[in-house]
Amino acid sequence: MAHAPTSARGGVITGWGIAVPDKVVTNDDLATRMDTNDAWIVERTGIRERHIGGTTSGLAIEAGRAALERAGRRPDEIDAVVLATTTPDQIVPGTSASVQNGLGIAGGAFDVNAACSGFVYGLTVAHGLLATGAERVLLVGAETLSKITDWDDRSIAVLVGDGAGAVVIEAVDGPGQLLSWQLGADGSLRHLLECDHGGYLSMAGKEVFRKAVRVVVESSEAALAEVGLSAADVDVFVPHQANLRIISAACERLGIPEERAVVVIDRYGNTSSASIPLALVDALDAGRISPGDHVLLSGFGGGMTWASAVLRWGG
Which residue from 14, 27, 36, 298 is in contact with ligand UT7, where contact means CB under 6 A?
36
Rounded to a whole number of angstroms, the minimum distance from the CB of residue 211 to ligand UT7 is 9
The reply on whether position 7 binds ligand UT7 by CB under 6 A is: no
Q: Does 276 participate in binding ligand UT7 (rule CB under 6 A)? A: no
Q: Which of 208, 229, 250, 284 binds ligand UT7 (CB under 6 A)?
A: 208
State yes or no: residue 32 binds ligand UT7 (CB under 6 A). Answer: no
Q: Which is closer to ligand UT7, CB of 5 or CB of 269?
A: 269
* C-alpha distance across the termini of the chain, in Å: 26
Q: Are 150 and 266 in contact (CB under 8 A)?
A: no
What minimum distance in Å lies between the beta carbon of 252 and ligand UT7? 16
Please count the residues of this chain forming the interface with ligand UT7, following the rule CB under 6 A.
19
Binders of ligand UT7 among 77-116, rule CB under 6 A? 116
* Residue 151 interacts with ligand UT7 (CB under 6 A): yes or no: no
> Known catalytic residue: 51?
no
By CB under 6 A, tell whether 155 contacts ligand UT7: yes
Q: Which of 27, 51, 113, 116 is flagged as catalytic?
A: 116
Considering the complex, state which of residue 212 and residue 256 has its C-beta at the smaller distance from ligand UT7: 212
Q: Which region among 1-9, 92-100, 201-209, 255-263 touches ligand UT7 (by CB under 6 A)?
A: 201-209
Query: Is residue 242 part of the contact set for ligand UT7 (CB under 6 A)?
Result: yes
> What DSSP string describes the chain?
-EE---SSEEEEEEEEEEE--S-EEEHHHHHTTSS--HHHHHHHH---EEE--S-HHHHHHHHHHHHHHHHT--GGG--EEEEE-SS-SSSSS-HHHHHHHHHT--SEEEEE-BTBTHHHHHHHHHHHHHHTT-SEEEEEEEEEGGGG--TT-HHHHTTB-EEEEEEEEEEEEB--SEEEEEEEE-GGGGGGEE--TT---EE-HHHHHHHHHHHHHHHHHHHHHHTT--GGG-SEEEE--S-HHHHHHHHHHHT--GGGB---HHHH-B-GGGHHHHHHHHHHHTT---TT-EEEEEEEETTTEEEEEEEE---
Closest distance of CB 207 from ligand UT7, Å: 8
Q: Does 200 bind ligand UT7 (CB under 6 A)?
A: no
* 240 noted as active-site residue: yes
Active site residues: 116, 240, 270
Residues that bind ligand UT7 (CB under 6 A): 36, 40, 44-45, 116, 154-155, 158, 193, 205-206, 208-209, 212, 242-243, 246, 270, 301
